[in-house]
A and B are shown apart, each in its own frame.
Chain A
Amino acid sequence: MKHYLYLHAQSARSALLKILRQPFGNLLNLLMLAIALALPVSLYLGVSSLQQWTAKLNTTPQITLFMELSSEQADLAAVESSLKHHPRVASFRFVHKDAALKELEQRSGLNAISEGLGSNPLPHAFIVTPQALEPAMLDLLQKELSGLPMVELAQFDAAWARKLHAMITLAGQLAWLLAVVFALAMVLINHNTIRMQILARQEEIVVSKLIGATDSFIRRPFLYHAAWQGGLSALLCWGLSSWLAYQANPALAEFASLYGIDAQLRSLQPLEVLGVLLGAVLLSMLGARLAADHHLRKNQPA
């Protein structure tokens, strides 16, 4: 067993030395693989950063009912009772126009608004939280509520947040789709580079088989080469995506500050680096294995 491990360590070492002996050609190869990895990884990082910020935003949609200015106590009571008995309304809250004005004064810091205006220009309002509903049903509910007597306007508060949320979900799915496509590319690129290597070492393989090499002995150096290639390209991809985040962050922070959000693109966490590394290594080895098996099947001496 110890001897077996020794042989594998030997193969791993000589495969790495082989890569290092041709630094330029192999670096180009590694960069190609790293870029193929960095695209889905960067998109994934972007999406997951966005999700962190939007989690702080309120995405459960609320509908605000603004009453007409001339509405009276009886009208308010009528609206209140129909909201209370509406099956699709989860909860609601009444905001008196005086309270609304006070809040506006506090928020804006303009204490003298009401004095300057003489009378309160704000309407009474109900803030309605619907049951969790499909977007189409929400639209229906909004229309229905706007039809209540003396209601001037029924407005979605969180419509933009919902749209943003949907877009992020879409981008997340796109990242996974890209990941699948580029995983395939990873296998194919490795399949191709290993196939070229096998062809270059065809004579050695033939002779080795003639003097007793097993298939696994023939495959071993190529599998290790692919494993190194995958591993090193994953590390390059980590660097590349961190560099991208580093470059994009100042501009992003400035943009986000306009909305009062503290936004930063994050880089890969240790566990995620490990995941990318493992994935890249396994996919590369899969490509190499397919190439080697294909060659061995075609070139059986007996």
Chain B
Amino acid sequence: MIRFDQVTKRYPGGHEALRNLSFAVESGEMVFLAGHSGAGKSTLLKLVSGIERATSGNVLVNNQNLSKLRASQLPYVRQHIGVVFQDHKILFDRSVFDNVMLPLDIIGFDRRDAQRRVRAALDKVGLAGKEKVMPIRLSGGEQQRLCIARAVVHRPSILLADEPSANLDRAYALDIMELFKSFHQVGVTVLISAHDETLMEDYGRRIIRLREGQFAA
């Protein structure tokens, strides 16, 4: 499902975010990504979603080698992945409903089918009554849920979440983790990054620990 083969990512200016990293995540697996900020967690997730490209090595996602794919093909890879961004990337000029509608518009869903799916996704994350609300009126936790609804509305096979529990109190963070677990249980491959390891250890899943772009011992 996801395979890194001696992947190195160097940003312009020389900073090496990932160094010669190899690992695999099986289909349907739920994996945590741990490490301090700057350890390379976000870069790793960006390479999986094709937002960044590896400097060397191969990144395979759904049996496609992203390193060899043309730039014009990358959007189609992204359409099969759901991403919960660290900074949410919510659009504040439109309602909760229209925010979740965006991925379906991009893929080109039939309008009626799309509306049904948006309602189902909002229901799933617990925002059923807030369809017409503007995102600015949502609390931090609700904005996080909105972001999750948008990431799963098109039923991707891979779900990536970059620090989804940051800035949330523990009870709320656990709620969010339970939500990810429920997606994992229906077969979605889930990859979650966090700098707070205590939250992950309760789940007994595999944890990939990064330090300065390499596996931490």
Alpha-carbon distance A301/B83, docked complex (angstroms)? 15
CB distance from A22 to the nearest CB of B (A): 14
Give Cα A112 to B51, complex, Å: 102
Residues of A contacting B91 in the complex (Cβ-Cβ under 8 angstroms): 203-204, 207
Chain B residues, CB < 8 A from A7: 108
User: Is B106 at the interface (CB under 8 A from chain A)?
Assistant: yes
Interface size class of A (residues with CB under 8 A): 20 to 34
> Does B108 contact A210, Cβ atoms closer than 8 Å?
no
Q: State whether A210 and B85 are in contact (beta carbons under 8 Å apart), knowing that A204-B93, A215-B72, A301-B51 are contacts in the complex.
A: yes
A209 x B71 contact (CB < 8 A) = no
Could you say which of B73-81, B135-143, B177-185, B204-212 contacts chain A?
B73-81
B51: contacting residue among A3, A215, A217, A302, CB under 8 A = A302
B106 pairs with A211, CB closer than 8 A: yes
Tell whether B166 is near chain A: CB-to-CB under 8 Å. no
B15 at the interface (CB under 8 A from A): no
Task: Select which of A6, A209, A211 is within 8 A of B150 by beta carbon.
Answer: A211
> B110–A210 contact, CB under 8 A?
no
Neighbouring A residues of B74 by C-beta, 8 Å: 302
Query: Which A residues lie within 8 Å of B93 (CB)?
Result: 203-204
List, in ascending order, chain A residues with CB within 8 A of B108's CB: 3-4, 7
Residue pair A302, B52 in contact (C-beta under 8 Å):
yes
Which A residues are CB-close (under 8 A) to B102?
207-208, 211
Is the CB–CB distance between B89 and A208 below 8 Å?
Answer: no
List, in ascending order, chain B residues with CB within 8 A of A6's CB. Answer: 110
Chain B residue numbers with a CB within 8 Å of A300 are: 71
Q: Which of A203, A209, A213, A300 has the most CB of B within 10 A?
A: A213
Over the window 128-155 of chain B, the binary record of Cβ atoms lying under 8 Å from chain A Cβ atoms (1 yes, 0 no) is 0000000000000000000000100000
Partner among B75, B110, B111 whose Cβ is within 8 Å of the Cβ of A213: B75
* Most interface-central of A6, A7, A211, A301 (chain B CB within 10 A): A211
- List B161-198 residues whose CB lies under 8 Å from chain A: none
CB of B72, distance to nearest CB on chain A (Å): 7
Instruction: Tell whether B50 is near chain A: CB-to-CB under 8 Å.
Output: yes
Query: What range describes how many residues of B lie at the interface?
Result: 20 to 34
Taking CB atoms, residues of chain A closer than 8 Å to B76 are 212, 214
Q: Is the CB of B110 within 8 A of A209?
A: no
The answer to whether A210 touches B51 (Cβ under 8 A) is yes
Are B78's CB and A212's CB within 8 A? yes
Chain B residues within 8 Å of A203, by CB: 91, 93
Q: Render A1-20 as a binary contact track against B, CB cut-off 8 A, 1 for contact.
A: 00110110010000000000
Are the C-beta atoms of A211 and B83 separated by less than 8 Å? yes
Distance of A204 Cα from B91 Cα, bound (Å): 7
B-chain residues with CB within 8 Å of residue A10 when the two chains form the complex: 111
B89 contacts which of A3, A207, A212, A214 (Cβ < 8 Å)?
A207
Q: Chain A CB within 10 Å — which of B52, B75, B79, B83 has the most?
A: B75
* Contact bitstring A139-175, B, C-beta under 8 A = 1, else 0: 0000000000000000000000000000000000000
Q: Please, which residue of chain B has its CB at the minimum distance from the CB of A6?
A: B110
- CB contacts under 8 Å to A, within B62-107, are 71-72, 74-79, 81, 83, 85, 89, 91, 93, 102-103, 106-107
Closest to A201 in B: B93
A210 engages B83 (CB within 8 Å):
yes
Interface: B53 (CB within 8 A): yes
Collect the chain B residues with CB atoms within 8 Å of residue A212's CB: 75-79, 81, 103, 106-107
Binary flags per residue of A243-275, CB closer than 8 Å to B gives 1, else 0: 000000000000000000000000000000000
Contacts of A210 in B (CB 8 A): 49, 51, 78, 83, 85, 89
Q: How far is the CA of A302 from the CA of B71 in the complex (A)?
A: 7
A209 touches which one: B72, B75, B103, B107 (CB < 8 A)?
Answer: B75
- Cα distance, A208 to B85, chains bound together (Å): 13
**Per-residue A-contact encoding for B20-64, CB less than 8 Å = 1, 0 else:** 000000000000000000000000000001111100000000000
User: Taking CB as reference atom, which chain B residue is nearest A7?
Assistant: B108
A2 to chain B, nearest CB (A): 11
Once the chains are docked, how many angstroms separate the CA of A214 from the CA of B102?
Answer: 13
In the assembled complex, the CB of A215 is this many whole angstroms from the nearest CB of chain B, namely: 7
Nearest CB in chain B: distance from A188 CB, A = 28
- 7 additional A-B pairs beyond A10-B111, A302-B51, beta carbons within 8 Å, are A203-B91, A208-B106, A212-B103, A214-B72, A215-B72, A215-B75, A302-B71
Show 5 residue pairs from A and B whose CB-CB distance is below 8 angstroms, ordered by the A residue.
A204-B91, A209-B75, A210-B78, A214-B72, A215-B72
* Chain A contacts to B: CB under 8 angstroms: 3-4, 6-7, 10, 203-204, 206-215, 217, 300-302
6 smallest beta-carbon distances between A and B, as pairs: A212-B78, A212-B79, A214-B75, A213-B106, A207-B89, A212-B75
